[in-house]
Amino acid sequence: MTLDVASAILNRRAIKQFDPAYAMPDSDMEKILDLARRMPTAFNIQNWRFVVVKDPDLRRRIRAAAWDQPQVTDASVLLVLCADLKAWEKKPGRYWENAQPDIQAVMTAAIDQYYRGREQVQRDEGMRSCGMAAGAIMLLAQSMGYGTCPMDGFDFGAVGALINLPADHEIVMFVAIGKPAAPPKPTGGVLPRAELVLNDTFPA
Answer yes or no: is pLDDT of 183 > 70.
yes
Domain-located, residue 202: no
Distance CA 35, CA 108 (A): 25
Task: Report the CATH number at residue 184.
Answer: 3.40.109.10
Domain-located, residue 182: yes
Total tally of structural domains belonging to the chain:
1
Longest dimension (CA), the chain: 55
Strands (E), 48-195: 48-53, 77-84, 147-151, 169-178
Domain carrying residue 113 = 5-196
Domain-located, residue 186: yes
pLDDT single digits (tens) 16-44: 999 999 999 999 999 999 999 999 999 99
DSSP code, position 175: E
Q: How far is CA 36 from CA 46, 117, 129, 135, 165, in A?
A: 11, 29, 11, 9, 21
Q: Which of 176, 179, 178 has its CA nearest to residue 78?
A: 176
Type of residue numbered 160: G
Prediction pTM value: 0.94
